[in-house]
């Protein structure tokens, strides 16, 4: 297929992406651009050479309801759950020479 002069909207329509994504593709591939008489940007593009496959729309963390997320945040499960002392009642950790709980300061 020969090179065509297309606007971002036309590229987006042919590749089934948004106009912003089409602009990013043109920029990523460093395709030559010019301005048309009506002020729109035209990109010289050969759609056969562009191997673009849009990602399927999906949730980044899987199917979780909003109420599950809110409940997790309210119980504190999302905050510091990665730390080894998480979940141990009354456990304090040292940070920068100070105790992290209760505002108690000790000398390092």
For 33, the domain range is 4-45
Q: Which residue has the higher pLDDT, 47 or 82?
A: 47
* CA proximity to 27, closest of 5, 45, 47: 45
Q: Which residue has the higher pLDDT, 32 or 71?
A: 32
**pLDDT exceeds 60 at position 80:** no
**pLDDT exceeds 80 at position 45:** yes
Q: Same structural domain for residues 8 and 40?
A: yes
Q: Which residue has the higher pLDDT, 6 or 1?
A: 6
pLDDT at 69: 75
Cβ contact 15:52 at 8 Å:
yes
The Cβ of residue 22 has, within 10 Å, a number of other Cβ atoms equal to 23
**pLDDT exceeds 70 at position 92:** no
Residue 58 lies in a domain: no
pLDDT at 94: 58
Residue 106 lies in a domain: no
């Amino acid at each position: 297929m020969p090179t065509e002069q297309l606007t971002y909207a036309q590229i987006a329509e042919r590749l089934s992406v948004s106009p912003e994504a089409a602009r990013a593709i043109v920029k990523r591939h460093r395709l030559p651009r010019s301005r048309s008489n009506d002020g729109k940007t035209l990109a010289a593009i050969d759609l056969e050479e562009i191997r673009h496959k849009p990602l399927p729309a999906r949730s980044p963390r899987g199917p979780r309801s909003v109420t599950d997320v809110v409940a997790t945040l309210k119980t504190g499960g999302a905050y510091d759950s990665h730390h080894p002392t998480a979940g141990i009642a009354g456990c304090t950790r040292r940070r920068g020479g100070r105790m992290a709980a209760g505002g108690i300061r000790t000398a390092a």
